[in-house]
Amino acid sequence: MTVAESQALTFDCETGNYHTFCPISCVAWLYQKIEDSFFLVIGTKTCGYFLQNAMGVMIFAEPRYAMAELEEGDISAKLNDYEELKRLCTQIKRDRNPSVIVWIGTCTTEIIKMDLEGLAPKLEGEIGIPIVVARANGLDYAFTQGEDTVLAAMAARCPDKAPVAQTEKEERGLSKLLNFGKKKEEIVQEESEYVNHPPLVLFGSLPDPVVTQLTLELKKQGIKVSGWLPAKRFTELPVIEEGYYVCGVNPFLSRTATTLMRRRKCKLIGAPFPIGPDGTRAWVEKICSVFNITPKGLEEREAKIWESLEDYVSLIRGKSVFFMGDNLLEISLARFLVRCGMTVQEVGIPYMDKRYQAAELAMLEQACNDMGVPIPTIVEKPDNYNQIQRINDKKPDLVITGMAHANPLEARGINTKWSVEFTFAQIHGFSNARDILELVTRPLRRNNNLKDLGWDKLVKEAHV
């Protein structure tokens, strides 16, 4: 295929199955993000074994999650679902006293049709703790979409009016106290840092340092972030009123975006996602354009970041990459790697919402045209057997894949990188672009080191 032939994105769909990590793994990062929460996963022993393995590194921590294991009596409807869940939630309240209990529904609760949404309001009234129901089952959702279902459920719990904390007199007194000793000019300057614009709420679970970085990036443009969903504490969920603007930071949050638009009557800013210096700049620029703000210093900032990445970019420039599809970050990562000089042979993705990712898809297409490389085919719900054949034919320099396929591909002499690592790494914002390239180049740097030591011949013999 020549570059001239590829002028537009092409989409394909293969098996109709999700070949991904289980979405209940979202508990791993959400329970740490929402500090006053408790997650109760309602499923079978298989779900429990999965969580033990997926989060085994936290064995010495004190996690705020647990399994409600469904036994034969539950599945055959011999036990009372409400009484069993009441017993568990009462114990959780006594032992932990969280601000919210999140019920995570699994495949089994879907199959036996447990009415979690019907049970939750009554039990919530009895125990006095909010209960949020999220159906993060692997039948309907891919890996990272578990977070999407939780945030969509929490969006309904966001207050629609700000609480009245003080009287006007108290507010004036507090203002005097905070500004004590400051000159009038300094006070006016601080108050004028932000442009007068409608409230903006950002959604997506990110580590606190990244939240601070992105909030400050917008502050530099005079944009004030009214809140984040989720907040560090359930009791600090952002106020969301009709007409508020919302913007996502992750490409797998289409259900949350839809809930905010349809249920809460918010206006969605359809921006690319702040992954890589190019994506972060486009994300900030899009938000600025919605609020009629002329962005300042973004070109220089992006150029400076690219300059600092050259030692990594030089390792992958001219090389090829193949995405098997796992965490729904594939489009954003592909767009960034094309800007780094790589050729993306195929983008496998478990689920593709073309409306929510429209700006990101346009950026990927533009990046390929600007860099003079073929535009990859995007394969939704790819068939892994077919992908293996295409990998054998195309012989990419790197395959980004789920954990299940990494070792078999390595055994065939193909460089791989676990896609799950991008989920847990800090990859958003200008300053974290280096972390993305640290992950991408690690297998290539490892092979270069093996060559220097003369081990590459032994590895090839082992493959034979």
Concatenate the DSSP letters of all residues of 47-106 into one string. HHHHHHHHTGGGTTS--SEEEEE--HHHHTT-S-HHHHHHHHHHHHHHHT--SEEEEEE-
Closest CA to 101 of 37, 46, 165, 58: 37
- Which of 3.40.30.10, 3.40.50.1980, 3.20.20.10, 3.10.129.10 would CATH assign to domain 23-141? 3.40.50.1980
CB 75 within 8 A of CB 69: no
Distances (CA, A) of 173 to 170, 185, 186, 192: 5, 19, 18, 20
pLDDT of residue 171: 41
CB 1 within 8 A of CB 125: no
Distances (CA, A) of 179 to 167, 175, 198, 295: 18, 6, 26, 29
Q: Tens of pLDDT along the chain (464 residues)?
A: 344 444 678 888 887 777 778 888 888 888 888 888 999 888 888 877 787 776 664 555 566 767 777 665 554 454 567 888 888 899 989 888 899 999 988 888 888 788 888 888 998 899 999 999 998 888 888 888 889 999 999 999 999 876 654 334 444 543 454 455 666 655 555 555 788 889 999 999 999 999 999 999 999 999 999 999 999 999 999 999 999 999 999 999 999 999 999 999 999 999 999 999 999 999 999 999 999 999 998 999 999 999 999 989 999 999 999 999 888 999 999 999 999 999 999 999 998 899 999 999 999 999 999 989 999 999 999 988 889 999 999 999 999 998 888 888 888 888 999 888 898 889 999 989 999 999 999 888 877 776 656 555 555 555 54
* Domain 193-297 annotated CATH 3.40.50.1980: yes
DSSP letter, residue 36: T
Distance CA 422, CA 182 (A): 45
Enter the tokens of residue 447. Answer: 């092979």
Amino acid at 124: E
Output phi, psi for 197, to 5 deg: -145, 160
CB 450 within 8 A of CB 293: no
For the chain, what percentages of helix, strand and coil (3-state, to nearest 5) are there?
50, 15, 35
pLDDT of residue 95: 87
Distances (CA, A) of 279 to 288, 337, 339: 14, 11, 10
- What CATH code would you report for 3-16+299-463? 3.40.50.1980
Say if 3-16+299-463 and 23-141 have the same CATH topology. yes
Output phi, psi for 415, to 5 deg: -70, 135
CB 420 within 8 A of CB 326: yes
Distance CA 254, CA 273 (A): 13
- Classified as helix, coil or strand, 46 is helix
* β-bridge pairing 398-401 and 416-418: parallel
pLDDT of residue 461: 53
pLDDT of residue 85: 87
- Planar angle of CA 140, 142, 146, nearest 5 degrees: 85
Domain ranges of the chain: 3-16+299-463, 23-141, 193-297
CB 76 within 8 A of CB 48: no
pLDDT of residue 168: 45
Distance CA 203, CA 205 (A): 7
Nearest-10 crossing angle of helices 116-127, 81-95: 40
pLDDT of residue 2: 40
Output phi, psi for 42, to 5 deg: -105, 100
CB 403 within 8 A of CB 421: no
The label of the residue with tokens 């809460």 reads 264
CB 214 within 8 A of CB 206: yes
